A and B are shown apart, each in its own frame.
Chain A
Amino acid sequence: MLLVAVWWLATVLKVADPVLLPPPQKALQALIDGLVGGPLLFDFGQTIYRTVLSFLIASAIAIPLGVMLGAAEKLYRSVEFVIDFFRSTPASAVFPLFLVLFGVGDKTKIAVAAFGASLVILFNVAYGVMNARKTRVLAAKVMGASRLRVLVDVYLWESLPQTFIGMRNGISLSLVIIVVAEMFIGSSNGIGYRLIEAQMLFEMPTMYAAIFAAGALGYGMNWVFLTIEKTFVHWGGK
Chain B
Amino acid sequence: MKYRRDILKTALLATAALATAMWSAGAMAADKVKVGVFPVSSALPYFVAAERGYFKEQGIDAEMVKLMGAPPIVQGMLTNDLDAGANLVTVDGMNGNTKKEGLLYYMSLYGQNKFAQMEQFVAKNGIDAKSVKDLKGTAKKIMSAPGAGNMAMARAVLGAVGMKEGTDYTLTELAMNLHADAMKAGTFDAGYTLEPNATVMNKSGAANTVEAGVVSKYIIGREEAYAYMAGGAITGKMLRERPDVARRFTAAWRKALKDIEQDPTTRELLKGNTFTPPELAMTIPLPRMMMVDQLSAQDKKDFQKVIDFTIESGVIKDKIDTSKYLVSPDRKAAS
Contacts and interface: CB of A to CB of B under 8 A. Distances in A.
**A16, A99, A104, A193: most-surrounded residue (chain B CB, <10 A):** A104
Given A186-B143, A186-B175, A202-B99, 7 more contacts: A184-B175, A185-B178, A186-B172, A186-B182, A197-B148, A200-B147, A203-B317
Interface in B283-316: 315
B175 A185 contact: yes
A203 B78 CA distance: 14
Contacts of A201: 71, 95, 148, 315
Question: Which 8 pairs between the two chains have the least Cβ-Cβ distance?
Answer: A103-B187, A186-B174, A200-B71, A19-B99, A186-B172, A17-B78, A202-B99, A19-B100
B143 A104 contact: yes
B75 interface: yes
Band of interface residues on A: 20 to 34
Nearest to A184: B175
Contacts of A13: none
B232 interface: no
Contacts of A19: 78, 99-100
Nearest to A17: B78
Nearest to A185: B175
Interface string B136-155: 00000001000110000000
Contacts of B171: 188
Interface string B90-104: 001001100110000
A100 interface: yes
A193 B173 CA distance: 10
Interface of B: 69, 71, 74-75, 78-79, 92, 95-96, 99-100, 143, 147-148, 171-175, 178, 181-182, 185, 187, 315, 317
A189 B187 CA distance: 19
Contacts of B99: 19, 202
A104 B182 contact: yes
| B99, B174, B175, most chain A CB atoms within 10 A | B99
A202 B95 CA distance: 8
Contacts of B69: 200
B38 to A, nearest CB: 13
A193 B96 CA distance: 20
Given A105-B172, A188-B171, A197-B148, A16 B79 contact: yes
Nearest to A103: B187
A202 B71 contact: yes
A187 interface: yes
Nearest to A102: B187
A185 B181 CA distance: 13
Contact of A104 (B74, B79, B147, B178): B178
Given A104-B187, A188-B172, A17 B178 contact: no
Contacts of A100: 181, 185
Interface in A187-209: 187-188, 193, 197, 199-203
Given A104-B143, A104-B187, A17 B173 contact: no
B187 A105 contact: yes
A20 interface: yes
Nearest to A193: B173
A185 B75 CA distance: 22
Contacts of B173: 186-188, 193
